[in-house]
Amino acid sequence: MVMPPNSRTESVTDPALKNPSRRRLLVGSAGALASVSLLGVVPLARADEAKTLPDYAKWKDQTALIVHSANTMETERGAIGSGVVTPSAHLYVRNNLPPPEEEIVTNADAWEVSFAGVENPKSLTLAELKRLGVTSVASVLQCSGNGRAFFTHGPGGTQWSVGAAGCVVWTGVPLKDVLETLGGANADAKYITGTGGEELPEGLDPKTLVVERSVPVAALDQAILAWQLNDEPLPVSHGGPLRLVIPGYYGVNNVKYVKSIAFTKEQTDAKIQASGYRIRDVGEKGAPDQPSMWEMSVKSWITAPLEKARQGRNMIYGVAFGGVHDVAKVEVSADGGESWKEARFLGPDLGPYAWRPFVLALDMSAGEHRIVSRATDSNGNTQPPERTKNERGYGNTSWKDHGVTVNVA
């Protein structure tokens, strides 16, 4: 089954189920999932449908993931941990189309990419790309709709809470290095347009389905063609054998199984670019003159504790990132934002596009506490308190939304 981009046929689950006071437990050996209330404060609207990992993602750790559908899997907030890198088995999956067959990675080095809009257009195999240069970059991969579950106007699409994001290490050739061997881009190039290698069903207009995205040519500074994820060959489930990665940009711009790269004067007229992934008021249709989901903004959230804490000293953990600017500081409040304390970053700094785990030692008294975090990037941008309402529920960076309510008994 081929689903169009942004399909509303995806399962829409009750946002309450994504509340951090709920936790999914693996029930039974068949791996059926059920949501259970550990606190019993808010009754569940309904039991979740049992969903297991699709075949192409069977290698993932189901206990760390919420399976929304065969094309959408989210990392549990409780599985994010305090590490600088998200293990691949925990990383969320969001496919706009069903992925190609596994066989496309069996002879990865033979994968071909065509380059256009350059002085010397040609195709290069992955084996050739590997000899042009190599870099490893840690960056946050995040779905445009991460945080959608917190919107109250009911935007369609996957009801992601915080887990449609992870920080991973990509290894590949800088697109700049490739461009150099191609003699440079055309003088009028304003966009880098990447096309995915998914098979498109016959009988439908390809432009309505193809995963083809354009990003400003300025992204050439950090764009890479990646063949490794966390130091292992890139699996099909994350775009293997080769993915266009634009560190600092939302996930959709990181075109999987990339088969062509063009330096273009205009953005592609593919639906996913022209009307999809556009910020607009509720009720409006998507259009090319609306802001596209390109650069990510500063954001953070709490990862522990999620439900209960102890009287006295607790260690509060979370993750923070700046999007295209590195994150400079993060503050934590245990009273819903009335008073703040600066948290400390934990572990090595993996660079401007990576997230940084943070920690704050906090003494807590009995009762209910709303723990929130607020990050500021190196350009002085701070997370806003409120989300910006928009038709599709994109780009939620509200610090109010991303906190957790914790009981100290």
Regarding 110 and contact with its own copies (CB under 8 A), the answer is no
Tell which residue, 261, 229, 211, has the closest CA to residue 94.
211
Regarding 346 and contact with its own copies (CB under 8 A), the answer is yes
Encoded one letter per residue, x for contact with its own copies by CB under 8 A and - for no contact, window 233-262 reads ------------------------------
Residue 177 C-beta: closest distance to its own copies, Å: 10
- Please report, as a single letter, which amino acid is at residue 115: F
Regarding 229 and contact with its own copies (CB under 8 A), the answer is no
d(CA 390, CA 145): 11
Percent helix, strand, coil in the chain (nearest 5)?
15, 35, 50
Radius of gyration for the chain, computed over Cα atoms and rounded to the nearest angstrom: 21
Tell which residue, 81, 75, 49, has the closest CA to residue 63.
75
Regarding 83 and contact with its own copies (CB under 8 A), the answer is yes
Q: Which is nearer to its own copies, 165 or 274 (CB)?
A: 165
d(CA 174, CA 220): 8
Residue 98 C-beta: closest distance to its own copies, Å: 29
Regarding 282 and contact with its own copies (CB under 8 A), the answer is no
Regarding 285 and contact with its own copies (CB under 8 A), the answer is no
Q: Which is nearer to its own copies, 194 or 357 (CB)?
A: 357
d(CA 178, CA 82): 36
Per CB under 8 A, the list member of 49, 109, 188, 231 interacting with its own copies is 231
Residue 213 C-beta: closest distance to its own copies, Å: 26
Evaluate whether 284 touches 332 at the Cβ level (below 8 Å): no
Q: Which is nearer to its own copies, 105 or 304 (CB)?
A: 304
Beta carbons within 8 Å of 46's beta carbon, 6+ residues apart: 14
Per CB under 8 A, the list member of 359, 371, 375, 404 interacting with its own copies is 359
Dihedrals phi, psi of 236, to nearest 5 degrees: -55, -40
Classify residue 208 by burial, with Cβ atoms within 10 Å: 0-12, 13-18, 19+.
middle
Encoded one letter per residue, x for contact with its own copies by CB under 8 A and - for no contact, window 305-344 reads --------xxx-----------------------------
Q: Tell me the number of residues near its own copies by CB under 8 A.
A: 32
Encoded one letter per residue, x for contact with its own copies by CB under 8 A and - for no contact, window 160-199 reads ---------x-x----------------------------
Strand partners, 66: 74
* Chain positions contacting its own copies, by CB under 8 A: 81-85, 87, 130-131, 133-138, 169, 171, 230-232, 313-315, 346-351, 354, 357, 359, 361
